[in-house]
Structures are given as C-alpha cells and as structure tokens.
C-alpha cells in the first residue's frame, strides 16, 4: 500500500465534478472540474490546449447553484489537468462547503 504525500496546501480543495466552459480569447473549451478551492481550480484535460500564463474566463455550471464567471490564469499543467489561479472572482462566488474536501 502506498503512503499518501502530506497535503501542504494552504487552503482546502473540494472534489467536485462541474461542467466548465473555458473562454480563452475567441476559443472555447468544454471541460470539467477535478477540484475547486477558494483561489483556484483544477480542470480535467487530456491534451492541454493552453499554456501557463494564459488569461481566461471560467464559466462554472454547478448543480443547484447559479452559474459563476471567474477570471483566471493558467497556473500550471499537471498530468491530470490544468491548474487555474483566480484573479477576478464574481462577487456571488462561494466555496462549496458542502462538497467533500480533497
């Protein structure tokens, strides 16, 4: 059995699978979340169409909540997806406290 690496994150992440539209200039990509935190999100993608530093708008479609629009930058690419850092958050955004922490 493999030991889990200690979680060194400053803020919790919630494992949620929400549809997300990524708007990068004139291009749009339909992806889904892997996890979500108060300052960023990871989105599942096999072949990354975006590179770190790219500015985007993320349109989250959570179930039972209003859609949320967030300005973000691609923070890094990982084997399991793209990590985004939020730089402009819709004032209606709230961290999904009812979701299971990651």
**pLDDT tens digits, 10-53:** 667 788 999 999 999 999 999 999 999 989 999 999 888 899 99
Show the CA angle centred on residue 52, arms to residues 8 and 80, nearest 5°. Answer: 55
User: How much helix, strand and coil, in percent to the nearest 5, is found in the chain?
Assistant: 0, 50, 50
Q: What is the pLDDT of residue 100?
A: 45
Q: What CATH number was assigned to the domain covering residues 19-89?
A: 2.40.10.220
List, in sequence order, every residue forming a beta bridge with 40; answer none if it has no partner.
85
- Match 């997300």 to its residue by tokens: 20
**pLDDT tens digits, 72-84:** 999 999 988 999 9
From the CB of residue 16, how many other CB atoms can be counted at a distance below 10 Å? Answer: 19
List, in sequence order, every residue forming a beta bridge with 31; answer none if it has no partner.
20
């Amino acid at each position: 059995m493999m030991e889990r690496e200690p979680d060194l994150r400053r803020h919790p992440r919630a494992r949620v699978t929400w549809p997300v539209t990524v708007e990068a200039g004139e291009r749009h990509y339909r992806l889904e979340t892997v996890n979500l935190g108060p300052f960023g999100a990871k989105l599942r993608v096999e072949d990354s169409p975006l590179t770190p530093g790219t500015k985007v708008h993320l349109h989250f479609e959570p179930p039972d909540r209003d859609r949320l629009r967030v300005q973000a930058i691609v923070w890094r690419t990982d084997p399991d997806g793209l990590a985004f850092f939020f730089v402009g958050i819709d004032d209606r955004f709230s961290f999904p406290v009812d979701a299971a922490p990651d």
